[in-house]
Structure 1
Amino acid sequence: MAGEIVIAQTTIDDEDRADALARGAIGNRLAACAHIDPPFTAVYRWKDAVETAREWRISYKTTTDRLPELEAWVAREHTYDVPEWITLPVTGGSGAYLSWVVEETGTP
């Protein structure tokens, strides 16, 4: 299988922006799938203050081969000064699903 499978995550403060980040990545074949989690409350420190915000989490399923392009695309399209960007290795799963991720993120 070309590249390892990873889950990359970001958050954003607007449901329409979350949808645009998910659809754009899929449309550009940077990820095979994106899940948008329901809004949750984020508590964090920013510029010496404790902040609270409502956010949506987007989890992308992609390959390590496509990860740099996905990260650069999200950074360009994101509205935050410092968007969350976390990647998690996928250490197992259905062979058919993992093959599908590789196929969907390949060059058309």
Structure 2
Amino acid sequence: MTETPFCMVLTTTNSQENCDAIISRLLSAQLVACIQTLPVSSHYRWEGKICSDQEILLLMKTQSRHYQAVELAIREVHCYEIPQIIQVPVTDGFQAYLHWIETVTLHPEERG
């Protein structure tokens, strides 16, 4: 897969408390620029059964180079055994917005 400079990372959780922990962890570490949350109905197969749950979808905007750190941070605080953590490449966008993502997701050691 060709890497693009920016991406969205998606995850879901069934708990507002877990959602808040993920948001706090990622924003305080400057790994993502923005997280949007939406209520969703999820339907899936788990351990041989068809399941349906009300969940919270987190849409996170970041730089692709931060994906591994974002994934690790989510896994550290997520309440699911196997959480959805998916990277979606951003192939284009409003340049001022993409520049903002780049600016606010810089690690402190990268700041000049």
Return the TM-score normalized by structure 2. Answer: 0.88
Q: Deviations over 1:47-87 (max 9, x none)?
A: 01111111000011011111110101101110101000111
Question: CA-atom RMSD, angstroms?
Answer: 1.2
Q: Which residue does 1:50 correspond to in 2?
A: 50
Q: Which residue does 2:83 correspond to in 1?
A: 83
By percentage of residues, which structure has more helix?
2
Q: Gapped runs of 5+ residues in structure 1?
A: none
Task: State yes or no: 1:18 paired with 2:23.
Answer: no
Q: Deviations over 1:24-55 (max 9, x none)?
A: 20111010111111x22111110011111110
Q: Gapped runs of 5+ residues in structure 2?
A: none
Return the TM-score normalized by structure 1. Answer: 0.91
| 8 Å CA contact retained: 2:18, 2:77 | no
Give the paired residue count.
Answer: 105
Percent of paired sites with the same residue = 28
Question: Where do 1:23-42 residues align within 5 Å?
Answer: 23-37=24-38, 39-42=39-42
CA distance in 2, matches of 1:103, 1:35: 18
